[in-house]
Amino acid sequence: MTTIDHIILNTNDIAASVDFYTEVLGFKNEGEDGPFTVIRVSEEFTLQLAPWGTKGNEHYAFAMSRADFDAAFSRIKDKQVPYGDSFHSVGNNSGPGSESGARGAGPTVYFFDPNHHLIEIRTYE
């Protein structure tokens, strides 16, 4: 089953956003991971807060079983969708790469949907 793994949100004020997500919604601040402030929503889902202008911002990451990841990656290649091993290398058609997600590091592939939303697929298996 495919699930949302993490979403990166642009923020104008990291402190206010952390306060909102932790004090109002009750989520847990897990600290920093590179330029991102990681907010744990559930065991399998995080929000990653990023200052505006952060590279790789505003993308949607989907976690898949290894079989589903391999099948989706195969379809991406078959349909000649430009992809990359990192968010900043979409179009190099290399990969998968390895990036940190809600449950740790795992194989990842990045590409754009038809509306130019940055999409990440990943697996932990």
Give pLDDT, residue 56: 63
pLDDT value for 57: 65
How far are the Cα atoms of 3, 19, 27 from residue 108, in angstroms, in the given order?
Answer: 14, 30, 26
Residue with tokens 């949100």: 9
Among the listed residues 48, 70, 68, the one whose alpha carbon sits nearest the alpha carbon of residue 59 = 48
Span 96-112, mean pLDDT? Answer: 93
What is the bridge-based pairing of β-strands 28-33 and 36-42? Answer: antiparallel
Q: What is the C-alpha to C-alpha distance for residues 25 and 86, in angstroms, rounded to an integer?
A: 31
Residue ranges of domains in the chain, CATH in brackets: 3-51 (3.30.720.120), 59-123 (3.10.180.10)
pLDDT digits (tens, 9 = 90+) for 29-80: 999 998 899 999 999 999 999 888 877 667 889 999 999 999 999 999 999 9
Mean pLDDT across 78-99: 94
Residues 6 or more apart whose Cβ sits within 8 Å of residue 34? none
Q: Would you say 70 and 99 are in contact if contact means Cβ atoms under 8 Å apart?
A: no
